[in-house]
Amino acid sequence: MADKVNLRIPNFLDYADDPVDRQLRMEYSISYLVKMMLAVRGEFIDYSTLDVISGHAANLHYDRGRFWVYDVSPEEPVSTALKHLGWSHQDYAPRDVEDAVEFTVEKVRENQAVLARWMEPIVFYGYDMGSEEKLLFYSPVFAPEGQGISKDELDMKWWKWADYPGANTLTILDGKQDKPTDPKKLAEICAKRTVDRAECGSFMGSSAGLAAYEAYRDDLADLSIDFVGQGVTDWGCFAIYQQWTSRRSSMQYFRRVAPIFGGRDRQRFEKAATYYEYCIEVWLEWEKHLGRNWRLIDDPGVSREEELRDFYYRWRNTTCRLAGAQAVDQALKWEWKAIEELKKIGL
């Protein structure tokens, strides 16, 4: 390896959003890291646009016994978003962890951030050459200030952890090769995709779209189902959060593109955005009953055990469960109204 100096991509962490909204705290998808990678290359795209054009924001999947369905999509989101933006990318399959480290260091020296898949997607953006060589990575979930990881840690926690094909794939941006999709055409594509995903009914054997709302609502209302006892409380955490918070992306994107259109289509996009806004408001009501208790989470004097006791209590409390089910039912109705508006685009 060339001269051993510490190196960080300049300003990389500055491209992160403030994850603490005044009311809504996002659970970001992989598109958030693509946003930061593009910013390094001088292209500044807001997260909501990437979330929608990638197809992620159109998804809602639910299967009580298969939490991982929240993280699958009919279209691979990174390549889908980049294609619409006119960017090409390169996927690299390292032979072993040493090859992965060598590739990453080489790319960082070229001012290239490197996307990796782990328990959550991460981006390598630098390295430190001290007594122990460490790659620096960013994750909005567990490394929001950046964090170093050694080759040995990578081997145990990343390389050997991989439990699905392609889990060790590394992705970099090549360059802008093609003309981006016309904004008006892209908005129409996103509207149709959103409708199609909402009405598909199932995906990979699990409930999807509006049917996922119904299945989730019905499970919450069925008090004979013990989410805590069955170990499926992920559906009060990241598995549902990353999906419902993306309704903010749909609201922002469709509101932003509305002025591109005239007449009825502009009104339809605006109405759809407003209905997504109402949908988010009801999900925030769900959060009060069954979601994250930010008051406890933000209190440094409250232990993780205390947070979990509160969380489990609410998930076993009849009033909270039924109120949560009612909120999901209301969110379903608002999303259905948004979909009905998007179905009319171009008619």
The pLDDT tens digits for 59-79 are: 999 999 999 999 999 999 999
CB 106 within 8 A of CB 88: no
pLDDT at 322: 98
Tokens 């040493």 found at: 98
What confidence category does residue 311 fall into, taking pLDDT thresholds of 50, 70 and 90? very high
What confidence category does residue 1 fall into, taking pLDDT thresholds of 50, 70 and 90? very low
Q: Which fold has domain 7-44+87-176?
A: Cathepsin B; Chain A (3.90.70)
The partner residues of 124 in beta bridges, in order of sequence, read 114, 137
When mean pLDDT is compared across 23-32, 128-137, 271-280, the lowest value belongs to 128-137
Q: What are the tens digits of pLDDT across the range 152-185?
A: 888 888 887 766 667 889 999 998 888 999 999 9
pLDDT at 4: 53
CB 199 within 8 A of CB 277: no
Q: Tell me which of 22 and 293 has the higher pLDDT.
A: 293
Whether the per-residue pLDDT at 20 is higher than 60: the answer is: no
pLDDT at 129: 78
Q: Tell me which of 138 and 117 has the higher pLDDT.
A: 138
Helix count (H) and strand count (E) of the chain?
13, 10
pLDDT at 140: 87
Whether the per-residue pLDDT at 109 is higher than 80: the answer is: yes
Residue 109 to residue 106: CA distance in whole angstroms: 5
Calculate the average pLDDT of the chain. Answer: 92
User: What is the arithmetic mean of pLDDT over 1-30?
Assistant: 75
Whether the per-residue pLDDT at 3 is higher than 70: the answer is: no
Show me where the domains of the chain are located. Answer: 7-44+87-176, 183-343
Please list, in sequence order, all residues whose beta carbon lies within 8 angstroms of the beta carbon of residue 20, skipping any fewer than 6 positions away.
none
